[in-house]
Amino acid sequence: MNYKVIDLEKYYRKGVYRHFSEDCKCSVSMTARIDVTDLVTFSKKTDTKFYLNFLYLLSKTLNSRDDYKMNYLWQTNELVCYDVINPTQYVFHEDTETCTPVYTNYSEDYQEFYKNALADLERAKNTREYLLDAANHPNWFDASYVSWLSYDSLNVELPDGYLYFIPIINWGKYREENGRLMMPVTVRMNHAIADGYLVANVYRLLDKEIAEFCK
């Protein structure tokens, strides 16, 4: 894990950061549907898991811009930007109706990421423990698939004043709308390091990555 410390005097969001980390601590959460028709087709043609293909593209999107790789280190009162952030995915156990967090390292190489993410999932199926270890995984973002519902809105609430900067991403089942497969995706970020533009930009970048990937 490597990171750079942000010089707050030179930070391009200096005023916004100060306001939303001191005066008005809050988060920004947005849900929108994205077109995954081509990604579903690709997954079926290649006999690969749609879920892991989307997880790869989501990870690639979040790693494409420093704004999505920020964190607040309360121990040293520093704003930092990681070189890379990795997804914390989840495996659901039907028999116990519980989830196990799965830490997967991001790689820009699709084949490597897919192989490792699949192996991580298979290993996690052998345990029923929660095994969340955020202290030793500070540069991992939460990537949770709500597979039972194609929802319209979802909010992740954290305690007021908790400066948690790593993105939290959820997505649900895709459904057909006007001949296309549309999937709800929820992006939650702290307002100190992200505004409506940066949250909305996640969807724009995801659309671009999906289109490039499925060419």
Q: Is 86 left (phi over 0), alpha (psi -120 to 50) or beta?
A: beta
Measured CA to CA, the distance from residue 82 to residue 4 in angstroms comes to 7
3 state SS of 77: coil
Looking at residue 187, its pLDDT comes to 98
Looking at residue 160, its pLDDT comes to 62
Question: What is the DSSP code string of 87-125?
Answer: EEEEEEETTTTEEEEEE----SSHHHHHHHHHHHHHHHT
Do 84 and 95 touch, CB atoms closer than 8 A? no
Looking at residue 135, its pLDDT comes to 84
Residue with tokens 């894990």: 1
3 state SS of 76: coil
Q: What global pTM score does this model have?
A: 0.96
Looking at residue 100, its pLDDT comes to 94
**pLDDT tens for each residue of 88-109:** 999 999 999 999 999 999 999 9
CA angle 209, 213, 215 (to 5 degrees): 120
> Which residues of the chain, if any, have pLDDT below 50?
none
- For residue 55, give the nearest of 7, 103, 22, 21 by alpha carbon: 103
CA angle 55, 134, 174 (to 5 degrees): 25
Long-range own/partner contacts, residues 93-101 (CB < 8 A, 24 or more apart): 93/125, 93/128, 96/128, 98/128, 98/130, 99/130, 100/124, 100/127, 100/128, 100/129, 100/130, 100/131, 101/130, 101/131, 101/132, 101/133
Looking at residue 203, its pLDDT comes to 98
3 state SS of 177: strand
Do 33 and 184 touch, CB atoms closer than 8 A? yes
Query: Which fold, 3-213?
Result: Chloramphenicol Acetyltransferase (3.30.559)
Looking at residue 21, its pLDDT comes to 94
Measured CA to CA, the distance from residue 100 to residue 91 in angstroms comes to 5
Could you tell me the two tokens for 72? 């607040």
**Domain layout of the chain by residue ranges:** 3-213
User: Which residues pair with residue 33 across a beta bridge?
Assistant: 184
Looking at residue 130, its pLDDT comes to 87
